[in-house]
Chain A
Amino acid sequence: MARYIFWRLADSIPTVLLVLTLVFIAMRILPGDPAIAALGDNALPDQIAVFREKMGLNVPLWRQYLNFLHGVVTLDLGRSLISNTPVVNLLAHHLPYTIELTIAATLIGVTAGIPMGVLAATHRNRPADSAVRLYSLVGYAIPDFYLGALLLIVFSLNLGWFPINGGGDDFPSRMYHIVLPALTLAFLKSAFMGKLARTSLLEVFGKDYVRTARAKGAREGRVIYRHALRNAMLPLTTGLGMSLLATLSGSVAVELVFNRPGIGTLLISGISERDYAVIQGGVIVFALFVVVVNLMIDLLYIVVDPRIRVQ
């Protein structure tokens, strides 16, 4: 097992390298000179020359690439063109907000979604099942930025129960600020996980080992939670990975709606201000997030499925 983990970790190194290379290439093939983009059309030639020198754009491409990789490894992603703050500092400030939002949304979504799936699967074609299916349908259909705005208007503006924007400072205030954005993202997640849990459970219910469990005298609760759900965890783990990534992209819009200082907000403002270094840093963080989530899901499989464990 330790070997599997080691190899899986080693395996993600080329992936990360590929991702970084893609980011590097993408930033270089963007139309226009970054110097002109940053300084504007009316920049003087010597201004541009200074800028190019400062950004390391005057060396051959392969040197730029190596410098870029070196920068990533030493956590030096350059400085924001606008605020002159090191990009790493900006990311370090914004990342916790995005991570806590993703975690909160996932916790709520999973703890609401899976029991709903169980309810639907055990009450197949009965009112409870129809209700869960309707919920899933609505969850899929409603865009998260719209739902976020809706919640914001109702619970923050009209009722005044929750703050209108920001991310909070100390822990209680951060948890207070996170409620509405997390619920917004959790809605789609619970719809997705609920539907997936229902389908996976219905499939598992037809398996021979579920009949075996009943034949030895296990009661329904035990059959569902000890036998069926543990097997349904395999597709649910895959689903969780997909859903985590969806939450990440969803968080960009939701952070914007709630004006939370997350990576999404940072990225959006970087794009609107043509702040190359910030965009590059944000994209790297998102890409690494995808790699890390996939790694975590793969490691989670080991916990869930003993057949992977022993190989």
Chain B
Amino acid sequence: MTAPLLRIENLSVEFGPRANPIRVVDDVSFEIEAGGSVGVVGESGSGKSMTSLSILRLVPEPPGRISGGRILFDGADLLALPRNQMPDIRGRDVAMIFQEPMSSLNPVMTIGDQIGEAILLHQDLNSAQRRKRVLELLRLVGIPDPAGRIDAYPHQFSGGMRQRVMIAMAVACNPRLLIADEPTTALDVTIQAQVLALLKDVRQRLGTAILLISHDLGIIADSCERVVVMYAGRVVEEGDVRSIFRNPAHPYTRALLKSIPRLDDERDRLYQIPGSVPLAGSVTQGCAFRARCPLRVETCAVDRPPLFAFGPSHKAACWVTAEAAQARSAAEASP
């Protein structure tokens, strides 16, 4: 097996004073193959955005800081790089788009200048070549009349068009990894579908690996090969989309799946997970989901569950379901 493009190992991110920190990302590990697509799903406060910001070392410092772990991109640890080398990675090897297309573009610069800047920073092109490339990118992301729009300002674009501009900017230098942090959350449903289709298209055409952060399992199921489920700063389940949707192993994932509304559903009320997400850093012992978990046993309050293997590429952090799965496979092994 070849080395993955990105491997996050035991990443921890803390906020607040060093003496009494709040851990918002707690020992998170997962990886992305070159050209692959991984979705990270979780509720607000699950640490998914902080995890993605950590990759480019954009966690706002202070008050936050990356307190442990390694982020290997192409085998090199990004966290060990001198701070002044990070700008060379950002935008060139790893690019990022954000949740708010309304506020993520600079209001006083034309979109042509903003996309052109991404090229200017990493490639040796003169201004005419850059402009040509920007027009190409605008065409690639489906902005109608690129030549007429290149000198327009962000406020002259709709939300969906701005997100297209963000994507054009992100893929300007053909990065090998594109991190999309809730790229469609602020958009209308029809525009969501268009932007997701565009991301897929970009991935296919340019071979860019995509890390898609979302709170919406439906979006992830549609666009990703692998899923990482995060809860309270930890990875609770990880696997390929198919096994996670067919056989969710963690009670949290099961609950998430149950709360997705379906057209053939006859319930008049949607399922909701009882209780609420624990405050960041408030769970220091045992399983973070135990307070809301229908399966909890005594062990859950004492020992933090590691990620148990549920299949060749399927892992989940639950004492109860792991034991059940073990018992089942033992029974199958001895007829």
Contacts and interface: CB of A to CB of B under 8 A. Distances in A.
B88 A217 contact: yes
A159 interface: no
Interface stretch (B25-33, B36-44, B116-124, B202-210): B116-124
B330 interface: no
A63 interface: no
Given A215-B58, A307-B153, A230 B108 contact: yes
A199 interface: no
Contacts of B170: 216
B87 A218 contact: yes
A206 to B, nearest CB: 8
Interface string B133-173: 00000000000000000000101100000000010011010
B216 interface: no
Contacts of B319: none
Interface in A12-37: none
Contact of B91 (A216, A226, A306): A216
Contacts of B108: 230-231, 233, 304-306
A226 B116 CA distance: 13
A229 to B, nearest CB: 10
Nearest to A204: B106
B119 to A, nearest CB: 9
B121 A209 contact: no
B56 interface: yes
Nearest to A218: B121
B90 interface: yes
A226 B114 CA distance: 11
Nearest to A125: B62
A207 B56 CA distance: 17
Contacts of A215: 56, 58, 90-91, 95-96, 98
B153 A310 contact: yes
Interface of A: 207-209, 211-219, 222, 226-227, 230-231, 233, 304-307, 310
Given A209-B106, A310-B156, 9 more contacts: A208-B100, A212-B98, A214-B56, A215-B58, A216-B117, A216-B121, A217-B90, A218-B121, A306-B107
